[in-house]
């Protein structure tokens, strides 16, 4: 039981070994005796996990095994009280105690040991701490990248939450630790491992602590209310639009995005290094609002040709690219990188993708680049994400899904552009579910997301893409305007976006409001509406469709939603539904934010 374990530690010199990241409880040993157990810190961690998972509560076995008589000098029922503090807002203050703290201080190990999961832990050479060790000067903290404290923000699924250490412990580079092990804590005896051995002449047994470094787990906490990502793409060409179509970084509403992907930087075809496509002078406007801002590289236009394939298939080029990217990110103050190669193995051919065009090695090469980027980014606290294809053919040919899942912080599935003017028949830009008129049963968001999960993606790492624009068509016969009716090609360009086959949501809603376009909707909500007038036809998502997609994000336990793009919503309220009606709907559904958007739809 607990009081027997703590008695062995406090009075009989048993040594303690702890997991650096707190994923398992400690164990203690002396000669041929060994015991694993949960201490206050682990009980608190499990109780926090109960809250994160939304479970019903906790159960203990058993009342008589806790330190119910306070034999160890902490408090009566220290483990059970810890559960109550976390789960039931127990009002009794934390005790001023740590297992093993007293007349004997735990030692700092000379070097953390790294144990592979297939190996048994080797023996540790644990050094003792001399009671007479000098206190460090406060200046010794200069240069450290953290401050010792009982609370510390930590990143979970890309969000920072406040981690509280149990009473008597302090934050120490990724985990709660003894005060004596925390560099620069006022009670610390040394900032370096002290000299001397555990049996260096003292007749009093020394309590010692070792740290083992267990390889990272791939398990993640579920998305819960307030933790969903809302990833927003900002396009640097939007500020060149005329009049009310111009969108500047200063137009970003910082409350509506958790992350912004700033698109795009490009890959230099000769040096295979990242380079800016335009000026980044205004990027601080986004960061000053407290948003995480990533630089996105690639996109449809920059993915043309073989340069990304040459990059990923050359280990030397990958290493050079990674070094260059880190320098670029640090120079411009970004928080990470978003990879938008469209697509490994499946290269572009006349606005379509051909999965026979690229070499098979693209799949492994891309996975290797992602792994190497992740390994270089994590020590620097940089984020790594990607926008990926929703196409079954591309997923099969181009993505090593388990590897990408392991190394990306999140994966945004571009669940849009399922249909467009290239089909020569009308179709919806982003169906949510299969509908009988569709030619393929896998051209919809529901199939794509579930297929990524089936292939090995953690749902909580997946972010559903949602279009704030429509795909437009010119009908072959204006009297035939249903789904799958023939079209000549792209619809007429919008007055602001000026690209054939494409209309921003604010251009669509204005056509419906002011030009009397006719709107058709699926009564079952399997796909968004389409609107038409004369020879012009456009499919898009409205408020109700963004709401339905947000609800699917929650139903499937995904990590959040992604929008393309900020400048395409009705950000100036041209149609009278309020500013950013689609993005505000997404935030209201996923993050519980208040909204002034009361309409069911804006068209």
**Residues 92-109: what's their mean pLDDT?**
48
Q: Give the residue with greater pLDDT, 557 vs 598.
A: 557
Element (H, E) at 275: strand 274-276
pLDDT of residue 176: 54
Cα 118 to Cα 120: distance, rounded to the nearest angstrom:
7
Spell out the residues 6+ positions from residue 123 whose beta carbon is closer than 8 angstroms to its own.
Answer: none
pLDDT of residue 414: 99
Cα 559 to Cα 216: distance, rounded to the nearest angstrom:
20
Cα 26 to Cα 211: distance, rounded to the nearest angstrom:
10
**Residues 391-413: what's their mean pLDDT?**
98
pLDDT of residue 137: 38
Active-site residues, by number, are: 342
Q: Where are the beta strands (DSSP E) in 104-250?
A: 113-114, 151-156, 159-164, 170-171, 176-177, 209-213, 229-235
pLDDT of residue 21: 58
**Torsion, CA 298, CA 302, CA 303, CA 307, rounded to 10:** -100
Spell out the residues 6+ positions from residue 6 whose beta carbon is closer than 8 angstroms to its own.
Answer: 67, 71, 72, 74, 99, 100
Report percent pLDDT > 70 for the chain. 75
Length of the chain: 603
- Between 3.40.50.1820, 3.40.50.300, 3.40.50.1100, 3.20.20.80, what CATH number should domain 229-467+542-591 receive? 3.20.20.80
Q: Kindly report whether the peptide bond that precedes residue 343 is cis, defined as omega within 30 degrees of 0.
A: yes
- Binned at pLDDT 50, 70 and 90, residue 152 comes out as low
Cα 353 to Cα 300: distance, rounded to the nearest angstrom:
11
pLDDT of residue 118: 32
Contact 213, 115 (CB under 8 A): yes
Element (H, E) at 393: helix 392-398
Contact 168, 101 (CB under 8 A): yes
Given a cut of 50, whether residue 452 has pLDDT beyond it is yes
Helix (H, G, I), strand (E, B) or coil at 240: helix
pLDDT digit string, tens, across residues 43-86: 887 987 787 677 899 999 999 999 999 888 888 899 999 899 88
Burial of 192: CB neighbours in 10 Å, binned 0-12, 13-18, 19+: exposed
Report percent pLDDT > 90 for the chain. 60
Given a cut of 60, whether residue 207 has pLDDT beyond it is no
Q: Give the residue with greater pLDDT, 112 vs 441.
A: 441
Q: What's the mean per-residue pLDDT of the chain?
A: 81
pLDDT of residue 149: 54
Cα 52 to Cα 330: distance, rounded to the nearest angstrom:
33
Closest by CA position to 512, among listed 528, 493, 531, 499:
531
Decide the pairing of beta strands 113-114 and 33-36. Answer: unpaired
Per domain, the residue ranges of the chain are: 2-213, 229-467+542-591
pLDDT digit string, tens, across residues 249-301: 889 998 999 999 999 999 999 999 999 876 554 555 445 456 899 999 999 99
pLDDT of residue 345: 98
pLDDT of residue 210: 33
209-218, 259-268, 421-430: lowest mean pLDDT where?
A: 209-218
Closest by CA position to 367, among listed 348, 386, 383:
386
Tokens found for residue 165: 């250490």
Cα 337 to Cα 331: distance, rounded to the nearest angstrom:
13
Given a cut of 60, whether residue 233 has pLDDT beyond it is yes
110-124, 310-324, 540-554: lowest mean pLDDT where?
A: 110-124
- Binned at pLDDT 50, 70 and 90, residue 178 comes out as low
Closest by CA position to 413, among listed 585, 558, 298, 546:
558
Burial of 28: CB neighbours in 10 Å, binned 0-12, 13-18, 19+: buried
Looking up tokens 């601080």 gives 284
Q: Which residues pair with 275 in a beta bridge?
A: 266
- Binned at pLDDT 50, 70 and 90, residue 10 comes out as confident
Helix (H, G, I), strand (E, B) or coil at 411: strand
Apex 561 CA angle, 559 and 565, nearest 5: 145
Given a cut of 70, whether residue 188 has pLDDT beyond it is no
Closest by CA position to 370, among listed 380, 381, 362:
362
- Binned at pLDDT 50, 70 and 90, residue 186 comes out as very low
């Amino acid at each position: 039981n607990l009081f027997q374990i703590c008695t062995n530690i406090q009075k009989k010199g048993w040594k303690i070994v702890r997991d650096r990241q707190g994923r398992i409880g400690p164990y203690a040993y002396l000669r041929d005796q060994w015991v694993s157990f949960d201490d206050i810190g682990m009980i608190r961690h499990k109780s926090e996990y109960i809250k994160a998972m939304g479970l019903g509560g906790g159960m203990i076995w058993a009342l008589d095994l806790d330190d119910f008589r306070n034999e160890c000098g902490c408090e009566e029922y220290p483990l059970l009280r810890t559960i109550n503090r976390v789960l039931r807002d127990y009002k009794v203050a934390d005790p001023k105690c740590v297992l093993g703290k007293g007349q004997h201080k735990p030692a700092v190990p000379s070097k953390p040991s790294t144990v592979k999961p297939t190996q048994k832990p080797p023996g540790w050479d644990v050094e003792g701490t001399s009671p007479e060790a000098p206190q460090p000067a406060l200046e010794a903290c200069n240069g450290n990248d953290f401050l010792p404290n009982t609370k510390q923000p930590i990143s979970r699924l890309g969000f920072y939450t406040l981690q509280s250490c149990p009473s008597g412990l302090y934050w120490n580079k990724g985990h709660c630790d003894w005060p004596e092990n925390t560099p620069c804590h006022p009670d610390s005896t040394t900032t370096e491992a002290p000299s001397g051995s555990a049996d260096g002449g003292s007749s009093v047994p020394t309590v010692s602590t070792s740290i083992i470094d267990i390889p990272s787990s791939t398990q993640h906490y579920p998305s819960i209310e307030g933790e969903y990502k809302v990833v927003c793409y900002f396009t640097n060409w939007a500020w060149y639009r005329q009049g009310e179509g111009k969108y500047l970084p200063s137009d970003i509403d910082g409350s509506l995005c958790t992350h912004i992907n700033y698109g795009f930087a490009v890959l230099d075809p000769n040096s295979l290094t990242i380079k800016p496509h335009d000026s980044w002078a205004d990027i601080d406007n986004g960061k000053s609002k407290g948003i995480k801002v990533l630089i996105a590289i690639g996109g449809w236009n920059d993915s043309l040709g073989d340069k990304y394939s040459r990059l990923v298939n050359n280990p030397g080029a990958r290493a050079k690219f990674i070094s260059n990217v880190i320098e670029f990110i640090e120079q411009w103050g970004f928080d990470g990188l978003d990879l938008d190669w469209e697509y490994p193995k499946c290269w572009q051919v006349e606005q379509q993708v051909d999965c026979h065009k690229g070499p098979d090695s693209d799949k492994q090469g891309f996975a290797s680049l992602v792994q190497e980027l992740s390994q270089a980014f994590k020590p620097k606290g940089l984020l790594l994400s990607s926008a990926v294809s929703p196409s079954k053919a591309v997923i099969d040919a181009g993505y090593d899904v388990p590897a990408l899942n392991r190394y990306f912080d999140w994966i945004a599935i571009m669940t849009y552009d399922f249909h467009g003017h290239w089909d020569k028949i009308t179709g919806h830009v982003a169906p949510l579910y299969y509908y009988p008129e569709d030619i393929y049963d896998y051209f919809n968001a529901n199939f794509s997301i579930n297929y990524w999960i089936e292939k090995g993606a953690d749902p909580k790492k997946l972010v559903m893409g949602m279009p704030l624009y429509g795909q437009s068509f010119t009908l072959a016969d204006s009297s035939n305007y249903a789904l799958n009716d023939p079209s000549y090609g792209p619809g007429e360009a919008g007055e602001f976006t000026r690209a054939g086959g494409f209309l921003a949501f604010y251009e669509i809603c204005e056509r419906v409001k002011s030009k009397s376009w006719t709107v058709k909707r699926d009564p079952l909500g399997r796909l968004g509406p389409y609107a038409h007038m004369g020879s012009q036809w456009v499919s898009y998502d409205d408020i109700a469709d963004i709401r339905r997609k947000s609800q699917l994000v929650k139903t499937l336990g995904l990590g959040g939603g992604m929008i393309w793009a900020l400048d395409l919503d009705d950000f100036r309220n041209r149609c009278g539904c309020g500013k950013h009606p689609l993005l505000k709907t997404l935030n209201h559904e996923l993050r519980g934010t208040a909204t002034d958007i009361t309409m069911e739809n804006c068209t």
